[in-house]
Chains A and B, each alone.
Chain A
Amino acid sequence: GNSVTQMEGPVTLSEEAFLTINCTYTATGYPSLFWYVQYPGEGLQLLLKATKADDKGSNKGFEATYRKETTSFHLEKGSVQVSDSAVYFCALGASNTGKLIFGQGTTLQVKP
């Protein structure tokens, strides 16, 4: 079945450091891929998405490219801020449904 695997956290970085959070997936068909972010005490917010191979999603300085050949969707940001501290979830959208399959989540802590 479909699944998503994320790198384990927590990830601790200094402000302005480069961020990479790895995400790989297993899926049949052509799923859409998403990154969601969850701040403490809140629900999930969509950070970015990609709907087909080689698509690059980007938002607020974050980027991820849908790589079908390596079944990956790694999240990157060139310079993190303290305000980026949150839990990040990689997710896969099954075809023609509202069902999302999530990775385990990666906690990011950015120190000043």
Chain B
Amino acid sequence: KAGVTQTPRYLIKTRGQQVTLSCSPISGHRSVSWYQQTPGQGLQFLFEYFSETQRNKGNFPGRFSGRQFSNSRSEMNVSTLELGDSALYLCASKDGEQANNEQFFGPGTRLTVL
């Protein structure tokens, strides 16, 4: 089985722009979660989608949004980019609904905001 893939791997944007990141989960996985990783704040949960519905949301402003398609692929969008949005954005997928199911992470998208 192919692993979790994320595109693009690297992205450079300027303040005020918007960006869309894509995540393809492992085949058969219906849950996709997004995390932001920064040196200062560590790994923080953004949101989770399950069967095209947002199931959980972290404490991020409304500029951060996401969606999931019927094939479980997910996108996250950040509007009006700020310098502080520079981070590694990780996507994870898992099978089933239980918390003890393993989440498989993608390699991440490195976003730099200038």
Contact = CB atoms under 8 A, between A and B. Distances in A.
Interface residues of B, number: 28
A98 B43 contact: no
B108 to A, nearest CB: 5
Interface of B: 4, 31-33, 35, 42-45, 48, 50, 55-56, 58, 90, 92, 94, 97-100, 102-108
A97 B55 contact: yes
Contacts of A45: 105
Nearest to A46: B102
B103 A46 contact: yes
24 contacts: A32-B100, A36-B105, A43-B105, A43-B107, A46-B102, A49-B100, A49-B102, A93-B99, A94-B99, A95-B99, A96-B97, A96-B99, A97-B55, A97-B56, A98-B32, A98-B48, A98-B94, A98-B103, A99-B45, A99-B56, A100-B45, A100-B103, A102-B42, A103-B42
Majority secondary structure, A binding face: loop
Interface residues of A, number: 25
Nearest to A92: B99
Contacts of A103: 42
